[in-house]
Amino acid sequence: MKYVSRRSVICASAGLAATSALSRPYIANAQAKTITFWVGQGFVKQEDAALKKTIDDYEKASGNKIDYSIIPFGPLNQKIVSALTSGDVPDLFFQDAPTTILPQAAWGDKLVDMTDVVKTQESKLSDTAKLSASFQNSKTKQRTYYLAPIKQAATPFHIWGDLVEKAGFKMADAPDTWDAFWDFFKPMQKVLREKGMRKLFAQGVSLTTVGPNDGNNLFYHFVIANGGQGVVTPDGKLHADDPKVREAFIRSVDYLTTSYKQGYVPADVLSWSDSDNNNGFHQKLFIMDFDGTISTELAMIDNKKAYYEESVTWGLPNGNDGKPMPGQTGAGGGYIPKGAKNIEVAKDFMKFFMQPQMMNENLKGGLGRWFPAIPALIEEDPFWLDPSDPHRAPYIKIALGPMIPQFNAFNPAWGQVNAEQLWGRAEADVIKNGMTPEQAIDKAFKRAQVIFERFSFD
């Protein structure tokens, strides 16, 4: 674990003055206190700079200190699981995408109730943020807030527009339904390989059994496009026996595994981590990818040609039924493990962070990779839809369209489903083990039903 000095603060752009009335801490601290804080490393350096600016602002305003550790995404997941298991915990965790950890930890009564923190901004938060911040507890048999939400994300398409044109196509001609949009890129592979790009693939889809997030996220958008978003309903029930849901999952597995078998997908995708699709895109290993946030593009922001001229961010087409399909989103933010030594200050910092101006300036400092959990900020600040940036506005427009929460918002069992990579394993069963999509999904649903039985108040 790498600790970064609190004093080596890199200034983020346009930071809110910490001494303003809006940014004062919520507690009067007669005696300064220190908290330990584990936070995920940003995919672009500006995210870390913006975080350090927020921490510095809080320290100056409150007199408290934050000993923070910025940890890469994968190792942070491992450290949090280990800490929650052993009980040797810091005062505060902060994750961009805690979907494989947070629901189960809340269910297991391992987290501190964050209702008093969330209530300070609850009326301003999006419905999806509130649903993604509250979880069931098996001990109290109640649903309550365990996450102080700061950020949300949508999932756009990332496309090499210059390769599309080199292949003799135009993005303006792309179909407006889901499968047809994906199919649009397939013939480009042959054309570009004949022009010398022999290792190029049409699609960079993450059919991973390793994950933890990108493969699940990709698969669920296929399920939604096929009409299967009712797999888990707000009452927490799993509907694996619903023929419409089953068909949506089968069709999703069938499309993705067929693309793999037909050679439109890199052969090593079954072992991809959440950064491999980004890296492959940057190497122009494939023409298009579907991946959460605009981290893919922001990583190239210093390459003006790639960022402003060659790459394209594209929103969601309609579902396969021709109707607008909702995107799916969760929430990232801070949560406190039981056993933390300084809960009061950890909560105070998250109250400070959740203030609209602090939230907005932090996420702007991170170049808009994440958008605020308070939707009004997007409408009020021209930064978010600034047409001078070719990627941010198309990305944010997804957030302004129909959105639904991730399924673990309705039952923490889905967090375990995510952690076990059931859908990546189903894809592997088709690709490597000779199963049909129907057999692979029935196997995965059988396991999902066992998991849901464990997460029941009955």
Give tens-digit pLDDT for 40-97.
999 889 999 999 999 999 999 999 999 999 999 889 999 999 999 999 999 999 999 8
* H or E segment and range at residue 261: helix 243-261
Domain positions in the chain are 21-153+330-405, 157-328+420-454
Average pLDDT over residues 15-33: 52
- List all residues 6 or more positions away from 355 whose beta carbon is below 8 Å from its beta carbon: 22, 23, 120, 121
Give tens-digit pLDDT for 340-389.
999 999 999 999 999 999 999 999 999 999 999 999 999 999 999 999 99
What's the confidence (pLDDT) of residue 30?
52
Cβ–Cβ contacts within 10 Å for residue 250, how many? 20
- Written as one string, the DSSP assignment of 114-156 is -HHHHTTTGGGS-HHHHHHHEEEETTTTEEEE--EEEEE----
Tokens (6 digits) for 38: 């584990």
Average pLDDT over residues 163-173: 98
What's the confidence (pLDDT) of residue 97?
84
Would you give the distance in Å from CA 179 to the centre of its chain?
A: 23
> How many angstroms separate the CA atoms of 127 and 32, rounded?
36
Residues 243, 246, 252, 253: is their CA dihedral positive or negative? negative
**Distance in Å from the first CA to the final CA of the chain:** 41
Q: What is the DSSP letter of 177?
A: B
Tokens (6 digits) for 105: 């930890």
Say how many CA atoms lie within 13 Å of 273 toward its Cβ. 7
pLDDT over 90 at 15, yes or no:
no
Closest C-alpha to 98, from 278, 336, 316, 359: 336
Superfamily of domain 157-328+420-454: Periplasmic binding protein-like II (3.40.190.10)
Do the Cβ atoms of 291 and 206 come closer than 8 Å?
yes
Taking each helix axis as running N to C, give the angle between helix 437-454 and helix 422-433, from 0 to 180 degrees, rounded to the nearest 10: 150
Do the Cβ atoms of 6 and 65 come closer than 8 Å?
yes
pLDDT band at 410 (very low <50, low <70, confident <90, very high): very high
> How many angstroms separate the CA atoms of 339 and 291, rounded?
35
> How many angstroms separate the CA atoms of 39 and 57, rounded?
17
Average pLDDT over residues 200-209: 94
Average pLDDT over residues 181-189: 98
> How many angstroms separate the CA atoms of 211 and 389, rounded?
30
Tokens (6 digits) for 8: 């080596």
Give me the percent of the chain exceeding a pLDDT of 70: 93
pLDDT over 60 at 18, yes or no:
no
> How many angstroms separate the CA atoms of 58 and 176, rounded?
46
User: Does domain 21-153+330-405 match CATH 3.40.190.10?
Assistant: yes
> How many angstroms separate the CA atoms of 360 and 383, rounded?
10
The predicted model scores a pTM of 0.90
Q: What is the DSSP letter of 171?
A: G
> How many angstroms separate the CA atoms of 45 and 302, rounded?
12
pLDDT band at 27 (very low <50, low <70, confident <90, very high): low
pLDDT over 50 at 219, yes or no:
yes
Do the Cβ atoms of 147 and 102 come closer than 8 Å?
yes
pLDDT over 70 at 14, yes or no:
no
Residue position matching structure tokens 């801490």 = 25
Cβ–Cβ contacts within 10 Å for residue 331, how many? 30
76: helix, strand or coil:
helix
> How many angstroms separate the CA atoms of 40 and 80, rounded?
11
Q: What is the mean pLDDT of the chain?
A: 92
Give tens-digit pLDDT for 251-302.
999 999 999 999 999 999 999 988 899 999 999 999 999 999 999 999 999 9
pLDDT band at 26 (very low <50, low <70, confident <90, very high): low
Q: What is the DSSP letter of 232?
A: B
Do the Cβ atoms of 98 and 409 come closer than 8 Å?
no
Distances (CA, A) of 251 to 261, 282, 351: 15, 30, 44
> How many angstroms separate the CA atoms of 180 and 15, rounded?
44
Cβ–Cβ contacts within 10 Å for residue 123, how many? 8
Average pLDDT over residues 440-457: 94
What's the confidence (pLDDT) of residue 456?
80
